[in-house]
Amino acid sequence: MEYKKLGNTDLELSAITYGAFAIGGNMWGGNEERDSIESVVASLENGVTTLDTAPFYGFGLSEEIVGKAIKGRDRSKIQLLTKFGMIWDESNHGKGDYFFDTEKDGLKTPVYKYSGKASVIQEVENSLIRLGTDYIDLLQIHWPDSTTPIEETMEAMEILLQQGKIRAAGVCNYSVEQLQTANKTVSIASNQVPYSMLKRDIEKELIPYSIKNNFGIIAYSPMERGLLTGKYFTKGNLKSNDHRNNYFGQYDMAKVKAVVDSLIPIAESKKVSVPQLVLRWTTLQPGITVVLAGARNATQAEENAAAIQVSLSAEELTFMNQELIRFGF
């Protein structure tokens, strides 16, 4: 495994970071807790030291599973990343920006983006309990909340830093302007944003700015939630309550398939899988600090971790980038 320093902090994160969205189950067609725990354990045993989760993933379930998986392990050798600001609790309905409706316990449940100071501090207390720890390595606002001044949210992070409950403060899905505003109140370590072979818009402004100002970039959905594995080009592979039924609709499947097909010869020549090739490509892009990779069982986790061993030359990277441009990405 490779390890990278996160922004201006002393945190060293694994280049392949475990993404714990899917093990929460909600929006992913459910989960199997035993498989989920085994996927976290397998990641840790194969060099992945960084785990990224959030309260919203499974309405607390993802954090609880991560907590169970790391129980009894040397906490100092694990970096726990979590978030705040996606609220589903009834007491908070009406506060913040309405985001979307999801399903909880068979009922339609509205989700809000809300990051008022008191709410942030309470969310962290709840996360610490679920994770079974007394500190969080990197705390991140999940989504911008237009109803709360950025300064107020960042003041909450500063309080938590002073209390020792978090080691570093980060943001997710922030623009350069929002990042600049946040950094005036608290020292921002990183910005977690979507980035993949199919979604490269951050290369225009955010990545150059982040490199210049030493902000870490945590890339999420590098596999486009499984689309770049090639497993989902035909209908019927997903459960009806899996959000990817709609998510995949943003892409021209013929073009995506062409991209995947162009990668197969390279992967075969290196005796690796296409997903491993995609993950490795992502870790090698300028400005990317770490890449999130989800896994729902131990086998997937082991494969993700092994992606870091894939060797790609400058010529091969250039060829892959040219293919992406040729297919419109």
| Catalytically annotated residue among 18, 57, 114, 220 | 57
Assign residue 208 the CATH number of its domain. 3.20.20.100
> Which tens digit of pLDDT belongs to each residue from 243-301?
776 777 677 888 888 889 999 999 999 999 999 999 999 999 999 999 999 998 999 99
Q: State the pLDDT confidence band at 27, using cuts at 50, 70 and 90.
A: low
Residue 246 falls inside a structural domain: no
Q: State the pLDDT confidence band at 103, using cuts at 50, 70 and 90.
A: confident
Q: How many domains does the chain have?
A: 1
**Phi, psi at residue 222, to the nearest 5°?**
-65, -25
What percent of the chain stands above pLDDT 70? 94
Active site residue 57: yes
Residue 196 falls inside a structural domain: yes
Q: State the pLDDT confidence band at 104, using cuts at 50, 70 and 90.
A: confident
Q: Lowest mean pLDDT of 92-101, 200-209, 317-326, name the range.
A: 92-101
User: Mean per-residue pLDDT for 115-138?
Assistant: 97
Residue 301 falls inside a structural domain: yes
Residue 271 falls inside a structural domain: no
Residue 283 falls inside a structural domain: yes
Residue 117 falls inside a structural domain: yes
Q: Output the average pLDDT for the chain.
A: 92
**Phi, psi at residue 154, to the nearest 5°?**
-70, -30
pTM of the predicted model as reported, rounded to 2 decimal places? 0.94
Residue 75 falls inside a structural domain: yes
Residue 235's pLDDT is: 59
Residue 230 falls inside a structural domain: no
Distance CA(15)–CA(308), nearest Å, equals: 8
Residue 109's pLDDT is: 87
Side chain identity at residue 281, one-letter code: W
DSSP for 38-95 reads HHHHHHHTTT--EEE--TTTTTTHHHHHHHHHHTTS-GGG-EEEEEE-EE--GGGTTS
Which structural domain, as residue segments, surrounds residue 126?
3-223+278-310
Residue 254's pLDDT is: 83
